Amino acid sequence: MCSSEETLLSVVYGSQTEQSVERQQRQQRQESVERQESVERQESVERQQRQQRQHRQQRQQRLQRLQRQQRQQSVERQERLQRQKRLQRQKRLQRQKRLQRQHSVERQHSVERQHSVERQDSVERQHSVERQHSVERQHSLERQHSVERQHSVERQQCVERQERQHSVLPVARTVCDEGFLFSINIVTMRFCVVLAAVVLVLRVSWTQTAEDTSPEQTDAAEQETDLEKKEKTTEIEEEKDVMVLHINNFQRALSKNKFLLVEFYAPWCGHCRQLEPVYAEAARVLKGEREEEGFSLAKVDAAEENQLAEEFDVGSFPTIKLFTDGNRNNPVDFTGNNL
């Protein structure tokens, strides 16, 4: 009985120990499972954290990449804008240069056109001036021939008159080659001395006529005639003691002076300019005797006073005529051949 009990006890005890061992093993197993679970949990947490970290880094990298791309795009945009501006500036400059070139070419063409027109005008002017000069030369030659013919006729009449009147005029002298005679007294002798000086100057400067003047002198004369002309009245003005006559006061000067010596001149004539100081000196000498004896010297601008020049047949410059007793129909011409 005892042995059976012992065996039973040993069996019970053994079963209890086995149960306790199994329990312990189960506990250990549970603990190991829990440990594993905790490790797995930690690993999963770490894995999550790692993943989150990776996601964060990836996001940051993506953001950086985006920022880099945006920066590059903005830089490219700026470069593109600068390139476009540079191109527009270049195009503007090229357009301006093209326009300037066109304007300069047009300016050159207009200047050349003006020069050609001016050249044509000057050539036409020269041709017209030469034509006028040739016509004037022909007219002056014709006038000279007619004047010489008249002079020869008048000389013959003068000789006949001298032969007829030599008994009536005991002391007489020819004042000019046209044969005008008047008796010599104290007054006329003074006048003849002055006339002799004038005629001597004319002898030296009478070798050429008005048509031999240079184109420069004619141009100067044209410029002088373009000046403002004073209003012509019957009043007689004086210039260096020489009366200045025109169509309105010519008859008044004839009626006021018994002997009136008139020079028909042209402003562009060189001989007229040479005669001017001598003629003024003669007028100054006669100035004191003008009122007493009626001797006066006058001048007429024949280039301006065409009517008087045509009336007295003025064909060359200077032309000097002597009017006596207010008679304008038969003046005496001085040619400078003799006194």
User: Number of structural domains, the chain?
Assistant: 1
Residue 324 lies in a domain: yes
If you ran DSSP here, which 8-state letter would residue 250 be given? H
Closest by CA to 295, choosing from 188, 198, 209, 180, is 188
Residue 76 lies in a domain: no
Angle between the 186-205 and 270-286 helix axes, to the nearest 10 degrees?
A: 170
Is residue 281 within 8 A of residue 316, CB to CB? The reply is no
Residue 125 lies in a domain: no
- For residue 339, count CB atoms less than 10 angstroms from its CB and return exposed for 0-12, middle for 13-18, buried for 19 or more: middle
Residue 198 lies in a domain: yes
CATH of the domain at 210: 3.40.30.10
Written as tens digits, the pLDDT of the chain (339 aa) is 556 667 776 766 767 778 888 888 888 888 888 888 888 888 889 989 988 989 999 999 999 999 999 999 999 999 999 999 999 999 999 999 999 999 999 999 989 998 989 988 889 888 888 888 888 888 878 888 877 887 777 777 767 766 664 433 333 333 333 333 333 344 444 555 556 555 554 554 444 443 444 444 445 444 544 444 446 777 888 898 899 999 999 999 998 888 889 999 999 998 899 989 999 988 888 776 655 567 889 999 999 999 999 999 888 888 999 998 888 888 988 765 544
CA–CA separation, 247 vs 259, rounded Å? Answer: 19
Can you give the pLDDT at residue 234? Answer: 77
Can you give the pLDDT at residue 172? Answer: 31
CA of 96: how far to CAs of 68, 83, 330, in Å?
41, 20, 79
Residue 249 lies in a domain: yes
Measure CA of the first residue to CA of the last residue in the chain; give whole Å: 217
Can you give the pLDDT at residue 22? Answer: 85
pTM: 0.38
Can you give the pLDDT at residue 194? Answer: 55
**Length of the chain measured in residues:** 339
Can you give the pLDDT at residue 198? Answer: 55
Residue 255 lies in a domain: yes
What domain range is 248 assigned to? 185-226+233-334
Residue 9 lies in a domain: no
Residue 265 lies in a domain: yes
